[in-house]
Amino acid sequence: MVSFILINELLATQALIVPIRVLFYIHFLISNSEISILKFAMLVVVFFFEVPTGYVSDRYGHKKAVLLAKISGILSILIFIFMGNFIGFLIANALLGLASSMESGARNAYYMEITRKQNIEYKDVMVKLGKYSKYIQFFLMIFSSILYTHSYLLPFIITFSLYLLSILFFSLLPNQHKYIENDKKENIWGVSKRLLVKILLDKRLRLELIFFTFTSSILISNFDYYTHFFINANINEGYFGLIFAGFMLINVIGINLYSKELSVRNENLLFILTPFSFLLISSGNIVLLIVGVLIQQVLFAYYSIHYDIYVIKSIDDLKNSAHYQSMISLLYTILRMGIILIVSLGFKVLNLTSMFIIFFVIFFFTTLYYIKNRIDIGVGRDTI
């Protein structure tokens, strides 16, 4: 069963499309402003459908929700292939947002249920999936541009085929247990309010949510500026594609590090390294730049798996597990939008080096606050 889960998840990837999507848009004369609208459209759909799809998933079946998400993903790919214009791309991105919303929460809820029935620790499945998916993404990203040069539709056609295979393997997984069925008379607002109160009253969950939102928002925003520092360090632009694909392999180091089950003390020492990476990257020295990038990529992967597993661990009600995760995702989205807005305004008035120094200062004190609160709460290792 674990093999089917891994194969299904590894096949349902858009790693062939992501690196060439902007080039694909440009091929159809889509402007930069229109590309921004397409990205925004997807976020809007995710924002509005995140919670409703979680609610529906808990009441009508997590497996059905994941299956519908895959179908929505396939439809979006078909539209990319057959509707090469702005309206078509707008619909395709909206479908991708809908797929993301339907799968958010439902996927983990379904996998957690069926692995528990088999006495399998879901944390181990998540770690394996995290590692193998990075290897697959690295391989596909390397070949993405090569396929695109042969035919601009080839990455989409292959991705469509992989999604169909994913549905086949997913259909072979066990059906959901009947006790997951909920009281369908309980309305979405009542459940949402109850789950929101639960999330906000959980001190450890609040801490992890705020810290992960802050770290991931800053780090993801900062990834976009690597190119600037690479150019200043006289790194040949021809290597950029390989370097960015190589981040997938560096992420595996972070996931492997997490699987070593470090003590909380060593984990805290690891976290305190991240702020200094901003100083290393902005130093102007090529060796320090590479070390800083390595630290960020390793720890970003570590933060991500650490946070995902804690969220899964915090679930104590399988009947509303997808809705619960959707509520957490919604809070994450709202907080991240605020942080990204502040960062964007900062880049309008300050240069890149000044912003990285500010990142260091804020990140340093935020990390100290996080570590202090972890110690006060008495945090141990997270298992499921």
How many Cα atoms within 13 Å fall on the side-chain side of residue 39?
A: 11
Q: In whole angstroms, what is the distance from residue 280 CA to residue 295 CA?
A: 10
Give the closest residue to 22 by CA, choosing from 39, 41, 9.
39
Q: Which parts of the chain register pLDDT below 70? A: 177-185, 224, 237-238, 379-384
In eight-state DSSP terms, residue 160 is H
pLDDT of residue 383: 45
pLDDT of residue 276: 95
Q: Which residue has the tokens 């549905």?
A: 167
CA distance to 225, 340, 366, 367, per residue, from 347 (Å)? 11, 11, 20, 22
Q: Do domains 2-122+144-170 and 201-377 have the same CATH topology?
A: yes
pLDDT of residue 384: 43
- The pTM is what? 0.82
In eight-state DSSP terms, residue 176 is P
* Domain range annotation of the chain: 2-122+144-170, 201-377
Q: Sort 183 into a burial class: Cβ within 10 Å, 0-12 / 13-18 / 19+.
A: exposed
pLDDT of residue 146: 85
**Which segments of the chain are extended strands (E)?**
none
2-122+144-170 CATH:
1.20.1250
pLDDT of residue 260: 87
Q: In whole angstroms, what is the distance from residue 201 CA to residue 197 CA?
A: 6
Are the beta carbons of 335 and 210 closer than 8 angstroms? Answer: yes
In eight-state DSSP terms, residue 174 is P
In eight-state DSSP terms, residue 3 is H
pLDDT of residue 179: 46
Convert the pLDDT of each residue in 324-343 to its tens digit.
999 998 898 888 888 877 88
Give the closest residue to 28 by CA, choosing from 135, 156, 115.
156
Residue 372 burial (CB count, 10 A):
11
Helix (H, G, I), strand (E, B) or coil at 198: helix
The highest-level CATH class for domain 201-377 is mainly alpha
Instruction: Put residue 234 in one of left, alpha, beta given phi > 0 → left and psi -120 to 50 → alpha.
Output: left
